[in-house]
């Protein structure tokens, strides 16, 4: 959190400095403002100031307008230059620069909505970074995530959410029931649905590209997902099959017998499957180096 003192009244506030520090209510406001920004309803400056005021919990009253009229030109410029500076500080981490353009970048690790309510029931979602997600859950969720990005079909988004959220996550995952029950999640607000979708994409990207600490060891799964044939861990250059895709990984791991049948592989934690793939990657690299030497 960043502690700031705003305006002449000495208002103190702690504002988030990354996505994982935002509350669900703050995220809803930010995502709503982003929608307005992308649709052209507000400018970037209006977005920044609006988000800053919301995160800082500042109440704008009519008296502020009257007070502004009593300020000298120098005081007025100083006040609003301070607002602009703090607004930039409060929002600069929400965007990444790509060349001459900037892109909104939701890069959360923690699940911002571990529980959601639809109608009379509460549904429980995954732990942070898919810690309790099975390979089967991930396979179905990832399938509908990529479908939704392509189609923008609300039903695909409902199926994604249904694959991740259940009333009782201790019960075995069923892809069939997940799809059958997807319509219940159409009752969620559009903003909540977009936050869940964005979090899934952000967590998936983090797992595939960043350093992870597993049992005290730093592991990076990036080579497992690269499509470049000169760098892919699943490429013939390393003595392993070409990139398999999610279903191909299911078949390959099931054929190895490490976790049992395909159904048993589906019920295996995702992280265990990734660790096995990483082990194969390290072994193929070791063997390649041995025979080259």
- Which residue positions in the chain have pLDDT lower than 50? 63, 228-242
pLDDT recorded at residue 188: 95
Work out the angle at residue 202's Cα, subtended by the Cα atoms of residues 201 and 205, and round it to the nearest 5 degrees.
85
- State the pLDDT at residue 242: 41
Tens digit of each residue's pLDDT (9 = 90 or more) over 178-195: 999 999 999 999 999 999
> How much is the pTM?
0.83
| Distances 230 to 159, 194, 218, 236 between C-alpha atoms, Å | 35, 36, 23, 10
What local confidence, expressed as pLDDT, does residue 231 receive?
40
Gap between the Cα atoms of 161 and 15, Å rounded: 29
Residues 6+ apart with CB under 8 A from 53: 60
Specify the pLDDT at position 237: 39
Distance of alpha carbon 224 from alpha carbon 226, whole angstroms: 6
Least Cα distance to 112 among 196, 5, 213 occurs for 196
Q: Residue 149: count other Cβ atoms within 10 Å of its Cβ.
A: 12
Sequence ranges of the domains in the chain: 2-104, 115-209, 211-292
CB 160 within 8 A of CB 145: yes
Contact (Cβ atoms closer than 8 angstroms) between residue 15 and residue 1: yes
The pLDDT value recorded for residue 61 is: 58
pLDDT tens profile 212-224: 988 888 999 998 8
């Amino acid at each position: 959190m960043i502690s700031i003192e705003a305006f002449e009244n000495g208002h103190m506030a702690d504002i988030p400095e990354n996505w994982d520090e935002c509350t669900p209510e703050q995220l809803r406001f930010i995502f709503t403002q982003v929608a307005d920004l992308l649709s052209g309803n507000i400018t970037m400056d209006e977005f920044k100031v609006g988000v800053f005021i919301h995160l800082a919990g500042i109440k704008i009253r009519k008296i502020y307008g009257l007070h502004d009229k009593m300020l000298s030109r120098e005081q007025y410029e100083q006040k609003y230059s301070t607002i602009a500076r703090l607004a930039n500080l409060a929002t600069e981490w929400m965007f990444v620069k790509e060349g001459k353009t900037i892109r909104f970048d939701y890069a959360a690790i923690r699940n911002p909505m571990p529980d959601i309510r639809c109608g009379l029931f509460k549904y429980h979602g995954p732990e942070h970074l898919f810690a309790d997600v099975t390979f089967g859950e991930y396979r179905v969720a990832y399938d509908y995530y990529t479908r939704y990005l392509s189609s923008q079909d609300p039903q695909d988004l409902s199926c994604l959410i249904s694959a991740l959220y259940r009333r009782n996550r201790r019960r075995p995952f069923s892809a069939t029931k997940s799809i059958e029950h997807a319509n219940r999640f159409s009752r969620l607000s559009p903003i909540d649905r977009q936050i869940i979708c964005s979090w899934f994409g952000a967590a998936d990207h983090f797992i595939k590209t960043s350093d992870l600490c597993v049992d005290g060891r730093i592991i990076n799964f990036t080579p497992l997902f690269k499509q470049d044939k000169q760098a892919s861990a699943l490429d013939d250059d390393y003595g392993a099959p070409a990139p398999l895709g999610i279903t191909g990984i299911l078949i390959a791991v099931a054929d190895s017998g490490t976790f049992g049948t395909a159904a048993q592989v589906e019920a295996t934690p995702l992280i265990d499957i990734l660790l096995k793939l990483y082990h194969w990657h390290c072994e193929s690299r070791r063997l390649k180096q041995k025979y080259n030497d």
